[in-house]
Amino acid sequence: MTTSTKDYSKYFQPPSYTDAKKRGKEEIEVHYDFSIPEELREIGKDKHYLIQTYGCQMNEHDTETIKGLLEQMSYRPTEDRKQADIILLNTCAVRENAEDKVFGELGHLKKLKLEKPSLILGVCGCMSQEEGVVNRIMKKHPFVDLIFGTHNIHRLPALLKEAMFSKEMVIEVWSKEGDIIENLPKKREGIKAWVNIMYGCDKFCTYCIVPYTRGKERSRRPDDVIAEVRDLARQGFKEIMLLGQNVNAYGKDFEDIEYRFGDLMDDIRKIDLPRVRFTTSHPRDFDDHLIEVLAKGGNLVEHIHLPVQSGSNAILKRMSRKYTREHYLELVRKIKAAIPDAVLTSDIIVGFPGETDEQFEETISLVKEVGFDMAFTFIYSPREGTPAADMEDDIPYEVKQARLVRLNDTLNVFSKASNERLKGQTLEVLIEGESKNNPNVLAGRTRTNKLVHVEAPKELIGQFVHVHITETPTFYIKGDWVKEPVAEASQA
């Protein structure tokens, strides 16, 4: 529903663990008839937009859709805030510091809004689905014109028109699960593309707000996903990333066909496309069939991101991860047996409520046993509305910080060792662009997602090259360009 600031509270309810867990088989409709109304296709003529994106790849991909919609309304991009006629903050709700950044940014934008009253300021994304966030915006940042959620990005043209002519803040956030809207325009840039294969999450880890902000699991139909991937291959994209909050739960919600993530990967494997990745997966849904398919290689790369979060069974239970340390290690064993060159990365949280020194040591020992190449590590951050937020946060912050440092030091040993094993090898590298720190150096990625720096002509950006590895620091590797053609989708 769309509502003004006056009656907002009647429609929005805060996240409820109990109510959300009662999700039924409410039918999700798939719509193929999206189009922007004719009268809105010129509404942005001679106007500019600017979008700031926070958070995960899903948010980045949502931004591509928002850009596609705006450009079909004749808006053009700008990086100059003073030139912008629309500024949207596409937000993340996973960690508290992400919210702090957004509210800090709104404070900076207030002056700009005062100088240019016609400027449309909007907040969208996961934060918009939280009642506390919207209430805070209404009270402390009433100059914001538009708030919309993750389920209704396709409604942006109509919402934008309303925001232009309304004297009140326009708010549209849906607590119900979103339908699947196919054929939305997207503005993709570069040589890599994201493809949503499903939306939402049903896992309800006790620390996570995503099941509330993104809704229940809804899988796109296989034919729609495969058609999009084929089209991207025809357009010349070198790599695609299949996206979902839990990609390997794909297809579990289908009632008319027996088709799961392993089947989808097997079909995509046959498409003439150099590299295919996916994120993020859940250990509970990583089945033997998927491992069997990934072991076929080809364009399916050997990098697997497999979040573990903790090495302690007691903490995993408190997190409601629904697997054990032993299950995770057995899964790792199966993956490494089937895919000997597999590189595993992970997500790990330290300082979860009640985590003892002994339980933290179990995480350290699991890291050593698996030998992760890399992991995203975090100090636990409570999210209002989740069960973990009601648990006693009884660990001093200094202890949490010390644990994070120790964890990262442990991981760095394995990252360094993994890189050193590559010294002297010649690897296939997809050159993505200039290095962030040195424009004379190019940066690219191996099949296993290793960051590679190489001095080579800029004409190679967007191409596959061979690089002979000569230096192996901890966080990237360096090498010499080998001047010979590369067969795409090789096993390098």
Same-domain pairing of 407 and 445: no
Residue with tokens 């969208």: 124
- Cα angle for residues 76, 82, 83 (degrees, 5° grid): 25
DSSP 57-125: HHHHHHHHHHHHHHHHTT-EE-S-TTT-SEEEEEE--SSHHHHHHHHHHHHHHHHHHHH-TT-EEEEEE
Q: How far apart are CA 197 and CA 261, in angstroms?
A: 9
Q: Kindly state the percentage of the chain with pLDDT values over 90.
A: 79
Per DSSP, the chain holds a count of helices (H) and strands (E) of 13, 22
| pLDDT tens-digit readout, 242-269 | 999 999 999 999 999 999 999 999 999 9
Which domain range does residue 203 map to?
182-420
Average pLDDT (50-73) is 94
> Would you say residue 489 lies in a domain?
no
Instruction: Give the mean pLDDT of the chain.
Output: 92
Q: How far apart are CA 410 and CA 328, in angstroms?
A: 19
Same-domain pairing of 161 and 193: no
Average pLDDT (368-380) is 97
> Would you say residue 458 lies in a domain?
yes
Per the CB < 8 A criterion, the answer to whether 480 and 467 are in contact is yes
> Would you say residue 492 lies in a domain?
no
- Give the domain CATH number at 454: 2.40.50.140
| Of 15-29, 268-282, 330-344, minimum mean pLDDT range | 15-29
> Would you say residue 491 lies in a domain?
no
> Would you say residue 177 lies in a domain?
no
pLDDT exceeds 60 at position 314 = yes
Q: How far apart are CA 481 and CA 463, in angstroms?
A: 12
- Give the domain CATH number at 260: 3.80.30.20
Say what the pLDDT of residue 150 is. Answer: 87
- Give the domain CATH number at 19: 3.40.50.12160
Residue with tokens 């995770």: 328
Confidence of residue 324 (pLDDT cuts 50, 70, 90): very high
Same-domain pairing of 189 and 285: yes
Say what the pLDDT of residue 17 is. Answer: 59
Per the CB < 8 A criterion, the answer to whether 397 and 382 are in contact is no
| pLDDT tens-digit readout, 436-445 | 989 899 999 9
Per the CB < 8 A criterion, the answer to whether 457 and 450 are in contact is no
Say what the pLDDT of residue 18 is. Answer: 66
Same-domain pairing of 165 and 250: no
Q: How far apart are CA 148 and CA 134, in angstroms?
A: 10
Same-domain pairing of 296 and 318: yes
Average pLDDT (397-413) is 98
Same-domain pairing of 435 and 310: no
Structure tokens that stand for 413 in this block: 């040993």
**The last residue of a domain, from among 420, 438, 458:** 420
Which residues have C-beta within 8 Å of that of residue 276, sequence separation ≥ 6?
239, 240, 242, 265, 268, 269, 299, 300, 301
Say what the pLDDT of residue 96 is. Answer: 74
> Would you say residue 108 lies in a domain?
yes
Number of domains in the chain: 3
| Other residues' Cβ atoms within 10 Å of the Cβ of residue 68 | 16
Q: Is the pTM of this model over 0.85?
A: yes
Average pLDDT (377-389) is 92
Per the CB < 8 A criterion, the answer to whether 434 and 442 are in contact is yes
> Would you say residue 488 lies in a domain?
no
Confidence of residue 428 (pLDDT cuts 50, 70, 90): very high
Same-domain pairing of 238 and 358: yes
Per the CB < 8 A criterion, the answer to whether 112 and 143 are in contact is no
Same-domain pairing of 139 and 220: no
Say what the pLDDT of residue 1 is. Answer: 45
> Would you say residue 33 lies in a domain?
yes
Same-domain pairing of 342 and 199: yes
**The last residue of a domain, from among 372, 394, 420:** 420
Same-domain pairing of 381 and 448: no
What radius of gyration do the chain's Cα atoms show? 23
Where b means 16+ CB within 10 Å and e means fewer, 93-121 reads bbbeebbebbbeebeebeeebeeeeebbb
